[in-house]
Amino acid sequence: AQSVTQPDIHITVSEGASLELRCNYSYGATPYLFWYVQSPGQGLQLLLKYFSGDTLVQGIKGFEAEFKRSQSSFNLRKPSVHWSDAAEYFCAVGYSGGYQKVTFGIGTKLQVIP
Amino acid sequence: DGGITQSPKYLFRKEGQNVTLSCEQNLNHDAMYWYRQDPGQGLRLIYYSQIVNDFQKGDIAEGYSVSREKKESFPLTVTSAQKNPTAFYLCASSIPQGIGQPQHFGDGTRLSIL
């Protein structure tokens, strides 16, 4: 069965600093990978997705993620964090098997300090 | 603008009572999903539907029921058999069978026990 691990439950960074959120997945075939962001009391918004091709994908709000098959990772990065980036971030893995079942990680809560 | 509307935003349930959470989408998506979100547990799939008049149990379906009579609507009923219903409930939709199509989310309903 597929699974997703987000090892950092809570991360604090200073505004303007770089950010990397870790995500590791477990799945036998090539996965479909997603990063979502959730502000308090709201739904999830898609930041970016990887299906195939270029392993470095660009998303909205200045985020990017790199797919590394050898490490089973799909880490999310941003070169300079803004206070408005404070939110919870979810990594998800999916596959096209009957229906598009998606497994979500438990999330990483990002705090941005001035 | 197309999107997913969940109502109400806050809902309170009395002991022994069934309550229904509404989810409506105008994205013309065939597939719809219900997730439960608890702190530290990510998103867990309750039910999903790939097409009108068809739906399948997810990972935590006990104590919940759904219907899919219209493409646009996928209401979730939390029955009295669900002994721990306090959570944040998220509805999502997507194009089914598509290769790695992302899910689009509503803004959620927070259910609490009176």
pLDDT tens column, A43-80: 999 999 998 888 999 999 999 999 999 999 999 999 99
pLDDT of residue B98: 57
Average pLDDT over residues B25-30: 94
With an 8 Å Cβ cutoff, are A43 and B90 in contact? yes
> Nearest CA to CA, how far is A82 from chain B (Å)?
23
Q: How confident is the model at residue A28 (pLDDT cuts 50, 70, 90)?
A: low
Query: Which chain B residues are within 8 Å of A90, Cβ to Cβ?
Result: 42-43
Question: If you write DSSP's letter for every residue of chain A in order, what string do you get?
Answer: --EEE---SEEEEETTS-EEE--EEE-SS--EEEEEEE-TTS-EEEEEEE-SS-SEEE-GGG-EEEEEGGGTEEEEEESS--GGG-EEEEEEEEEEESEEEEEE---EEEEEE-
Query: Which chain A residues are within 8 Å of B92, Cβ to Cβ?
Result: 43-44
CA distance B98 to B84: 34
Which of B9, B24, B37, B41 would best serve as a mutation to test chain A binding (most A beta carbons within 10 A)?
B37
* Lowest model confidence (mean pLDDT) among A8-12, A35-39, B1-5, B93-97: B93-97
pLDDT of residue A97: 60
Amino acid at position B52, single letter = V
Average pLDDT over residues A2-30: 92
CB A61 within 8 A of CB A45: no
pLDDT of residue A10: 97
- Residues contacting A69, CB < 8 A, separation 6+: A30, A55
Q: In this structure, how many other beta carbons lie within 10 angstroms of the beta carbon of residue A44? A: 29
With an 8 Å Cβ cutoff, are A42 and B108 in contact? yes
Average pLDDT over residues B56-80: 96
- Residues contacting B81, CB < 8 A, separation 6+: B62, B63
Q: Is A60 on the interface with B (CB under 8 A)?
A: no
pLDDT of residue A102: 86
The number of residues making up chain B comes to 114
Q: What is the dihedral of CA A5, A26, B62, B24, to 10 degrees?
A: 80
pLDDT of residue B39: 86
Say which residue, A100 or B9, is predicted with more confidence: B9
CB A4 within 8 A of CB A91: yes
pLDDT above 90: percentage of residues in chain B: 75
> Nearest CA to CA, how far is A90 from chain B (Å)?
8
pLDDT of residue B38: 93
Closest CB to A43: pick one of B50, B56, B107: B107
